[in-house]
Amino acid sequence: MIRDTYRLSNGEYDLIVIGGGINGAAIANLASSKGLKVALLEKNDFASGTSSKSTKLIHGGLRYLENFHFSLVREALRERSIQVKKAPHLVKPLEFIVPVYKEAKRPLWLIRLGVTLYDILSGASTLGRRQYLSNKKILQNVPGLKQENLIGGVSYFDAQMDDARLCLENVMQADAQGAHVANYIEVRELIKENGRCVGVRTYDHIDGRYCTIKAKNIIAAVGPWTNEFMRKEKNQSPGQIRPTKGVHLVYAGRFSKKAILVFNEDDGRVFFIIPWGENTLIGTTDTDYKKGADDVSVNDEDIGYLLEATRRVFPNRSIDPSNIIDTFAGLRPLIKDEGSPSKVSRECVINQSFSGIYYILGGKYTTYRKIAEDCLKKIYSNKFRFSQKEFCVYGGGRITESVAAVSKKFSVAEDIVERIMAVYGSRYEDVLKIVTDGPKYKKRLTTNTDIIQAQIIYAQEKEMAQTKEDIYYRRLGMRYLVKDAKAMIKEIEQVIINRSH
Ligand SMILES: Cc1cc2nc3c(=O)[nH]c(=O)nc-3n(C[C@H](O)[C@H](O)[C@H](O)COP(=O)(O)OP(=O)(O)OC[C@H]3O[C@@H](n4cnc5c(N)ncnc54)[C@H](O)[C@@H]3O)c2cc1C
C-alpha cells in the first residue's frame, strides 16, 4: 500500500470517503470493487478511533433481544456468518457462558428463551449449539466464579475478531482494487459550488502540506467525530449523534478459556470477561460523553467500575489493579435518542445533508459490510448489485500450504509460521518474503518472542504504518499482550532504524 499524496491532490474522484474506521474502510472496499474511483482519507491512523476500541465481538447481540430489536439481531447474525467465512483468520467462533443468580433481574427462563431465540435467528449459520448448564458444569468451565445463589446458566456461540486488523484489511483490499488511500490526512474544510459540496481541503499531518481533492460524491464516515464534522457545514449544527464512552481493561492472565457474559445487578448492564491470548479483556462501561472525540480517555471511576464488577463475580480471586496491562476508551457513535445509553438503538442511518454529504450515523462493527452496501445503494440508486460471495478482505483467501511446508520453504520456525498465518491469513507469504532480505528479519524480538522483525518491516513498508505506535497498537495488537509497552516500542524503533542503514 503506497501513501501517495501527490496522486491524491491530482485526482478527480467518483467518491471521497472521509474516515478510515471500519465503516469508511468497508465503503472504500465495496465501492472500489465496483470500479469506482475512490479516495479514502483518515486523519490519524486507520482504525485509531472506535474501530480499535471495541469489545471485539462480531455478534448478533444477545442483549438486544430484550429490547425486541429482532431485525437488527437477525441482520447482525447474517453478517456474522459472512465475516466468519470471508475473514476466517480474524473472525473466530467463541463460546460464551452466562451464569444466572437467584437475585437476578433477568430470570433463568428468560435467559434460556433468549439463547433459544438467538439460535433460531442464526438459522443455518449458527456457530455452535446453545446449552443449558447446571451449576457443576458452569463451575467446571469457570473456576472461581461466585457460587452463592448460582441457579444455573446457559452457553451460546458468537464470534471474536481483531478489530484493528479487520479494518486495515478492508483498507488494503480497497487499495488492491485501485482506491487511493492515505492515513494522517485530515479533512479541514469543505469546498462548495452553488451550495453543494464538491471537494475537500486537506491537511497532511506527515509533511504539513494542504491540498484540494474533488469528487462527485462525498461520504463522512467519521463515527464519533460526526457532530464536530457537521459544524464544518453549518457553524451551529446541533449534531445528530449521541456519543457514549466505553472503557475496557486488559487484565493479566485468564479467568476462563471461554468468554463470560455477566449482568451487573447494580445497574442492570451487561459486561464481558473475554479471553484474549493468555490475558483477559474486561468491559465495558457505557456513559454519555460530552467533550471532543479527540480527548476521550480512561479515568479512575471507569477502572473502579470494571474492577468492582469483576470482583463481584469472582469474590475469592484477588483482583488487583497492578495486574492491569492496559486500558482503552472508545466512543459509540449512536444515533441521538433519549433514555439510558445501553438502551439506545445500535441501528444505522445514512443521511444526506443540505450540501450533499452522506453521513453514516450509528451502527455496530458487526454490520459494517451491510452499512457500506446500504450507503452505496443509497448514493447510486441501486445501480450496483452486491453479492456476499464477491465481498473480500485482503487476507481472507484459502490457505492451501501446510505450516510445515512453509516453515521449510522460508527456514522459519513452525510456531512463527502458524502465528503469521493466524494474523495475515492467506497473505502470509508477503510477510515471510521479507526474511529473504537477510537472516536478521527472521529473528524474534527480545521483548516479544512471538514476533519476528519481518513483521515490523511489513507493517512499515506495506501496511502504511507511519509511527512505531501504529505498529505496536494496531498492526501487531500488542496492547493486549505486553505489559512493558515502552521497551517493545523502543525495540520496534530500533528495527526500523537498522533497516534504513
Ligand atoms: C466500547 C465499545 C465497544 C464496542 N464493541 C463492539 C462490538 O463488540 N461489536 C460491534 O459490532 N460493535 C461494537 N462497538 C461499535 C463499533 O466499534 C463502532 O460502531 C464502529 O467501530 C464505528 O466505526 P466508524 O468507522 O463509524 O468510526 P471510527 O472507527 O471512530 O472511525 C472514524 C474515523 O474518522 C476519522 N476522522 C474523523 N474526523 C476526520 C476528518 N476531519 N478527516 C479525516 N478523518 C477523520 C477518525 O480519526 C476515525 O478514525 C463498540 C463500540 C464501543 C465504543
Whether the predicted pLDDT of 345 surpasses 90: no
Whether the predicted pLDDT of 239 surpasses 80: no
Residue 84 in domain? no
Provide the domain count of the chain. Answer: 3
DSSP state of 322: G
Ligand 1 and 213: CB distance under 6 A: no
State the pLDDT at residue 344: 64
How many angstroms separate the alpha carbon of residue 332 from the centre of ligand 1?
A: 7
Q: 269 falls in which pLDDT band (50, 70, 90)?
A: confident
**Residues 263 and 150 reside in one and the same domain:** yes
pLDDT tens for residues 48-66?
Answer: 999 999 999 999 988 888 8
**Residues 154 and 251 reside in one and the same domain:** yes
State the pLDDT at residue 340: 67
State the pLDDT at residue 412: 97
Residue 391 in domain? no
Residue 177 in domain? yes
**Residues 122 and 98 reside in one and the same domain:** yes
pLDDT tens for residues 91-134?
Answer: 999 999 999 999 888 999 999 999 999 999 999 889 999 999 99
Q: 234 falls in which pLDDT band (50, 70, 90)?
A: confident
Ligand 1 and 327: CB distance under 6 A: no
**Residues 17 and 130 reside in one and the same domain:** no
What integer is the mean pLDDT of 381-395?
Answer: 92
Ligand 1 and 221: CB distance under 6 A: yes
State the pLDDT at residue 312: 93
**Residues 355 and 495 reside in one and the same domain:** no
User: Which residue in this structure is represented by grid cell 469528487?
Assistant: 215
What integer is the mean pLDDT of 131-144?
Answer: 97
* CATH (domain of 147): 3.30.9.10
Ligand 1 and 230: CB distance under 6 A: no
Q: Which residues pair with 187 in a beta bridge?
A: 202
* CATH (domain of 43): 3.50.50.60
**Residues 327 and 252 reside in one and the same domain:** yes
**Residues 450 and 334 reside in one and the same domain:** no
Ligand 1 and 284: CB distance under 6 A: yes
Closest residue CA from atom 48 of ligand 1:
49
Residue 63 in domain? no
How many angstroms separate the alpha carbon of residue 260 from the centre of ligand 1?
A: 24
**Residues 230 and 264 reside in one and the same domain:** no
Whether the predicted pLDDT of 386 surpasses 70: yes
Residue 464 in domain? yes
Residue 148 in domain? yes
Annotate 245-310 with three-state secondary structure. EEEEEEECCCCCCCEEEEEECCCCEEEEEEEECCEEEEECCCEECCCCHHHCCCCHHHHHHHHHHH
Ligand 1 and 17: CB distance under 6 A: no
State the pLDDT at residue 240: 86
Ligand 1 and 51: CB distance under 6 A: yes
Phi, psi (5° rounding) for residue 468?
-65, -30
CB atoms within 10 A of CB 253: 11
Whether the predicted pLDDT of 77 surpasses 80: yes
Residue 390 in domain? no
State the pLDDT at residue 94: 97
How many angstroms separate the alpha carbon of residue 49 from the centre of ligand 1?
A: 5
pLDDT tens for residues 209-219?
Answer: 999 999 999 99
**Residues 131 and 266 reside in one and the same domain:** yes
Single pTM value for the model: 0.97
CA-based nearest residue to 403, from 367, 432, 440, 441: 432
Residue 474 is placed in which grid cell? 494496531
State the pLDDT at residue 236: 66
User: What rounded mean pLDDT belongs to the chain?
Assistant: 94
CA-based nearest residue to 466, from 20, 7, 17, 89: 20
Whether the predicted pLDDT of 500 surpasses 90: no
Q: 347 falls in which pLDDT band (50, 70, 90)?
A: confident
**Residues 42 and 187 reside in one and the same domain:** yes
Ligand 1 and 99: CB distance under 6 A: no
**Residues 408 and 496 reside in one and the same domain:** yes
Whether the predicted pLDDT of 369 surpasses 80: yes
pLDDT tens for residues 318-335?
Answer: 999 999 999 999 999 988
Cβ 372 vs Cβ 21: under 8 Å: no
**Residues 183 and 284 reside in one and the same domain:** no
**In terms of residue numbers, what domain contains 440?**
403-500
pLDDT tens for residues 166-181?
Answer: 999 999 999 999 999 9
How many angstroms separate the alpha carbon of residue 20 from the centre of ligand 1?
A: 9
Residue 59 in domain? no
